[in-house]
Amino acid sequence: MTLPLEDINILDMTRLAPGPYCTMILADLGADVLKIEEPGGPVGRRAEQGQGAADMPNLLDRHSPYNALNRNKRSIALNLKADEARQIFYRLVGKADVVVEEFRPGVAKRLGVDYETLKKLNPRLIYCSITGYGQDGPYSQLVGHDINYISTGGALGIIGEKDGAPVIPHNLLGDFAGGGMHGAIGILTALVAREKTGRGQAVDISMTDGVVSLMAQFLSTHFATKEVPPRGDTYLSGAAPHYNVYKTKDGKYLSLGSLEPWFYANLCRAIGREDFIPYANDEGQKRQEILSYFREHFLTKTRDEWFDYLRQWDICVSRVLTVDELASDPQIVARQMIVEVDDPRAGKVKQAGILVKLSETPGSIRSLSPASGQHTDEVLQGLGYAREEIDRLRGAGAIR
Look at residues 365, 355, 400 and name the one whose alpha carbon lies nearest to residue 75.
Answer: 400
Could you give the CA distance from residue 70 to residue 62 in angstroms, rounded to a whole number? 7
145, 222, 297, 375: which one is catalytic?
145
- 12 flagged as catalytic: no
Residues 388 and 399: their CA atoms lie apart, in Å, by 13
3-state helix, strand, coil in the chain (%, to 5): 45, 15, 40
Residues 376, 67: Cα–Cα separation, whole Å: 20
Amino acid residing at 391: D
DSSP 61: P
d(CA 178, CA 120): 30
Is 170 annotated in the active site? Answer: no
Strands 317-319 and 253-257: antiparallel
Return the H-helix or E-strand segment holding 192: helix 182-197
Cα–chain center distance at 84: 34
* β-strands 126-131, 202-206 pairing: parallel
In whole angstroms, what is the distance from residue 140 CA to residue 153 CA?
Answer: 14
For 76, the enclosing helix (H) or strand (E) is strand 73-77
Distances in whole angstroms, Cα of residue 153 to Cα of each of 168, 178, 210, 218: 13, 10, 8, 12
Strand extents, DSSP E, 307-364: 317-319, 338-343, 347-352
- For residue 319, list its beta bridge partners: 254
Whole-number Å distance between alpha carbons of 177 and 161? 23
Name the catalytic one among 28, 175, 209, 242. Answer: 175
Closest CA to 256 of 318, 331, 303, 322: 318
Task: List, by residue number, the catalytic residues.
Answer: 145, 175
